[in-house]
C-alpha cells in the first residue's frame, strides 16, 4: 500500500498559499489536506469551497477534503465542484452515513469516513466495503498543534488487521499530532496516509516536508 504525506493547510500561511503549495509539491508530498470547520461540529471555523476552488488552480496534487461539519450531505456537490479529489465525512456527523457515502461517490470523487478518538471501529464496519479511505482522528478534531492521543493508534492497528484479513482496498489516514517524533508509531500501527499540519508549516516548510517523507521511505 502506497504511503503518502498529506500536509494540512490549516497551518499554512494563506497570504502566500501558492508558494506554500509549491514548496510541499516540490518536496514530494502527494496530497494536500483541506480541513473544513463549521463552528458547530467543532468549535472553530476555517474555510470553505471558494478557498478550495482557488487552491485547485495552484496544485495538481490530491485534494483531500476533511469535512468537520454537521450534516455534510448539504455541501458534498459544492466541494466536488470546487475541485476535491477525496471527500471525507465524520461518521458522527451524518444522520444517514451510508447514503452520504453514496452521494460522495455519485459526484465522481473518492469517499472517506472519519471517526473521532472516542468512536469505535465497530461503528464504521458496515460501510468499509464502499469507502476508499478511513480517517482515524488521532486528536479530538478542531485545532492544529495538539498532542496525539496514544490509544487512537490501537484503533489504527485494529483496522489495519481487519482490512488486511478481508483484503479490502482501503487507505488508512491518521490526522492530528503527527510530527517527526510520532510518525513512526503511526506508520508502525498501519496508517498509510499521514496528515501533518503544524509539523509541516511551522518553520522551514520544504525541510519539514522532506524530513517527514524521509521517515516514510
Asked whether the beta carbons of 185 and 153 are under 8 A apart, the reply is yes
Q: What is the Cβ-side half-sphere exposure of residue 165, based on CA atoms within 13 angstroms? A: 6
Site for Zn ion in 169-188 (CB under 5 A): 175
C-alpha cell at 143: 485545532
Between 139 and 159, CB nearer to ligand DX5: 139
Asked whether the beta carbons of 14 and 40 are under 8 A apart, the reply is no
Residue linked to cell 479490502: 168
Q: Which does 90 bind (CB under 5 to 8 A by kind): ligand DX5, Zn ion, none?
A: none
The residue within the footprint of ligand DX5, chosen from 142, 162, 187, 211 (CB under 6 A), is: 142
Share of the chain residues as helix, strand and coil, in percent rounded to the nearest 5:
40, 20, 35
Asked whether the beta carbons of 6 and 32 are under 8 A apart, the reply is yes
Among candidates 65, 120, 109, which has minimal Cα distance to 88?
A: 65
For the chain, the distance separating the N- and C-terminal CA atoms, rounded to the nearest angstrom, is 12
Asked about 85 being catalytic, the answer comes back as: no
Minimum distance of ligand DX5 from residue 34's CB (angstroms): 9
The residue within the footprint of Zn ion, chosen from 35, 64, 171, 173 (CB under 5 A), is: 35
Minimum distance of ligand DX5 from residue 154's CB (angstroms): 19
Binding mask 77-116 vs ligand DX5 (x if CB under 6 A, - otherwise)? ----------------------------------------
Q: Which does 112 bind (CB under 5 to 8 A by kind): ligand DX5, Zn ion, none?
A: none
Q: Which residues, at least 6 apart from 173, have a Cβ–Cβ distance to it below 8 Å?
A: 6, 64, 88, 112, 133, 134, 135, 136, 191, 192, 193, 194, 195
Minimum distance of Zn ion from residue 6's CB (angstroms): 8
Catalytic-labelled residue, pool 38, 64, 132, 175: 175
The residue within the footprint of ligand DX5, chosen from 52, 178, 183, 186 (CB under 6 A), is: 178
Between 162 and 216, CB nearer to ligand DX5: 216
Q: Give the chain's count of helices (H) and strands (E).
A: 8, 8
Provide the binding-site residues for ligand DX5, judged by CB under 6 A: 8, 10-11, 33, 35, 66, 139, 141-146, 175-178, 195-199
Active centre residues (catalytic): 35, 175
Provide the binding-site residues for Zn ion, judged by CB under 5 A: 35, 66, 175
Amino acid at each position: 500500500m502506497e504511503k503518502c504525506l498529506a500536509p494540512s493547510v490549516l497551518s499554512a500561511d494563506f497570504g502566500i498559499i501558492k508558494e506554500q503549495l509549491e514548496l510541499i509539491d516540490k518536496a514530494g508530498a502527494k496530497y494536500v489536506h483541506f480541513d473544513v470547520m463549521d463552528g458547530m461540529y467543532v468549535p472553530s471555523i476555517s474555510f470553505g469551497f471558494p478557498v478550495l476552488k482557488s487552491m485547485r488552480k495552484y496544485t495538481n496534487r490530491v485534494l483531500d477534503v476533511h469535512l468537520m461539519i454537521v450534516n455534510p450531505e448539504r455541501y458534498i456537490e459544492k466541494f466536488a465542484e470546487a475541485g476535491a479529489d477525496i471527500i471525507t465525512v465524520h461518521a458522527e456527523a451524518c444522520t444517514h452515513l451510508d447514503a452520504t457515502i453514496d452521494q460522495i461517490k455519485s459526484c465522481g470523487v473518492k469517499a472517506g469516513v472519519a471517526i473521532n478518538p472516542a468512536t469505535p471501529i465497530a461503528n464504521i464496519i458496515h460501510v468499509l466495503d464502499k469507502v476508499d479511505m478511513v480517517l482515524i482522528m488521532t486528536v479530538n478534531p478542531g485545532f492544529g498543534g495538539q498532542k496525539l492521543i496514544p490509544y487512537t493508534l490501537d484503533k489504527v492497528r485494529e483496522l489495519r488487521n481487519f482490512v488486511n484479513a478481508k483484503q479490502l482496498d482501503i487507505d488508512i489516514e491518521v490526522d492530528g499530532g503527527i510530527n517527526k517524533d510520532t510518525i513512526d508509531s503511526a506508520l508502525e500501527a498501519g496508517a498509510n496516509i499521514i496528515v501533518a499540519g503544524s509539523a509541516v508549516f511551522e518553520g522551514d516548510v520544504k525541510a519539514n516536508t522532506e524530513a517527514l517523507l524521509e521517515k516514510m521511505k
